[in-house]
Amino acid sequence: MELNGNALETISYNDYTLDPETDYSVINNMVIISKLFLKNLSLGPAELSFNFSAGEPQILKLEIFESAVINSSIIPVRANFDKGINQADIHVTLILNGNELNGIKKGDYELKAGTDYVLIEERAVLKKEYLLTLPFGESKLDFIFSAGESQTLTINVYQSYIIVEPVKNLEFSFNAGTYFETLSVSITSATPGAAIKYTTDGSAPSQSNGLTYTAPIEVSANVTIKAIAFKGGMVNSQVVSNQYIIILPAASPEFTPKGGTYYYDQIVSITSATAGATIKYTLDGSAPSQINGILYSAPITISQTSTVKAIAYKSGFGDSAITTAEYIMLPPPQPRTEPPQFAPAAGTYADPQTVTLTCATDGATIKYTTDGTDPSLANGFEYSTPLTINQTTTIKAIAIKAGIRDSQIVSAVYEILAPVADPQFSPAAGTYSGEQTINLTTATKNANIKYTLDGTDPSPSNGIVYKKSLVITESTTIKAYAYKSGLPDSQIVTAEYIINP
């Protein structure tokens, strides 16, 4: 339009004024007449009057006619869909011939655009998620267009199958058996990409049970490893089980103080990190063994140059390596205070110990520590009365006397075994209506419990060994204690249950 300073106010057809919202639109100086409006006009000539804010109306002459309808078509008209291993969308090419796709129907059901199918340029893509809902056999989909006849796509729905192979059985880098060293056990499958799960608790591994194998398994104790391999689209491998018996050597003996050059007698302790290990040693240069050497039971006093060789052994373990320490004893450059003596000697005890420190040098003062630091004139406590040791403690002590050298520092470790944990009652003591089932437990693993119901104290010679829950039907007082070989007994615990009818 050339407005020449005017403005378009209305457009009319006969007595009808076109709606600017639905019948036409104006973009810059161009008017676009809606095809929906034009579709409703009668066949033949028609005139639209453009009315401006000033000047004469302008007439647009139209010729309304109807062209022949050309049907749309689709390619293909038949397609296959596999519900098995080859699931895939179906792509249908639309030859529109000027029409538009209004929808796709299967019988009375109208497929949902964006969910059941999507339009990509002039293609309709039937989604496999919808196609999976179709029954086996032939299904017909009608493509409805804005003009002309609908077009039908026939889909043959079937399912393919494959023969599933099993995952190759697993192989362990070490065969089951007895070994005298720690193992690093690798597990492999010849099937590429197979995942492996394993257990060490005796349960059967599966995709939902066990640990995922990612690196070799460190085996330092007796264990049975069960493993299985699996991979998508394949049958799981068989469960393979290997039992490993590990007999490790006892920890090698250690000397305190270490071998070296000394001027005064040395009190040498020999220990092994393997709890309960037996130690034998020699002073004559021969190799110690279970049948040769001296049984170590207390610290050794070395007063002359000596070579000490020691070995540790324990049932269920291999013998340790032989450890050697050489002590070179030279004449002292000056007198030295005698080292403190401990009574009782260092060791493992079931009860608290009262430890006395003495020194053979008259007038010497003893300083000691229990925090691991070395005692000296400036550090530690001055010994005056026996020490009560009620928990595992390392005592270091030194003897000091004016005018002569301090003694060497001596050390003693007292291991005080904790008593068995007290029995626990469940439910707790109290007043109840009706009979109660009482369970007794202790936090100490493998400990036993004895109890009485007659008011007497349970003891090794009195009471009943607890084996199963107690059913209490009347008011009862239960006394119980826990015990285990090698540990102090627990306290006697009393629980009173009042049963109301």
Report the candidate in 318, 252, 247 with the shortest Cα–Cα distance to residue 281. Answer: 252
**pLDDT higher than 90, residue 68:** no
How many residues belong to the chain? Answer: 501
Q: What pLDDT does 29 receive?
A: 86
Mean pLDDT, range 69-96, rounded to an integer: 91
**pLDDT higher than 70, residue 419:** yes
Contact (CB, 8 A) for 254 and 312: no
- 3-class secondary structure, 255: strand
Mean pLDDT, range 126-148, rounded to an integer: 93
**Tokens encoding 27:** 């973009």
Residues 431, 432, 438, 439, Cα dihedral to 10°: -70
Mean pLDDT across the chain: 93
Q: Of 14-18, 314-318, 463-467, which gets the smallest average pLDDT?
A: 314-318
Phi, psi of 82 (to 5 degrees): -100, 115
Domains and CATH numbers, the chain: 8-64 (no CATH), 73-158 (2.60.40.10), 170-246 (2.60.40), 254-329 (2.60.40), 341-416 (2.60.40), 424-500 (2.60.40.10)
C-alpha span between 228 and 431 (Å, rounded)? 53
Report the candidate in 460, 338, 469, 352 with the shortest Cα–Cα distance to residue 401. Answer: 338
Q: What pLDDT does 171 receive?
A: 95
CA angle 417/369/344 to nearest 5° reads 50
**pLDDT tens by residue, 192-206:** 999 999 999 999 999
Strand partners, 328: 261
Contact (CB, 8 A) for 74 and 62: no
**Tokens encoding 84:** 């098995």
Q: What pLDDT does 121 receive?
A: 87
Residue type, 1: M
Instruction: Work out the percent of the chain whose per-residue pLDDT is above 90.
Output: 80
* Report field, pTM of the whole predicted structure over 0.85: no
Q: What pLDDT does 163 receive?
A: 66
Contact (CB, 8 A) for 309 and 281: yes
Provide CB contacts within 8 A for 34, sequence distance 6+.
22, 23, 24, 25
**pLDDT higher than 80, residue 45:** yes
pLDDT band with cut points at 50, 70 and 90 for residue 364? very high
**pLDDT tens by residue, 393-405:** 999 999 999 888 8
**pLDDT tens by residue, 227-251:** 999 998 888 999 999 999 988 899 9
**pLDDT tens by residue, 448-488:** 999 999 999 999 999 999 999 999 999 999 999 999 988 88
Instruction: Work out the percent of the chain whose per-residue pLDDT is above 70.
Output: 100
Q: What pLDDT does 379 receive?
A: 95
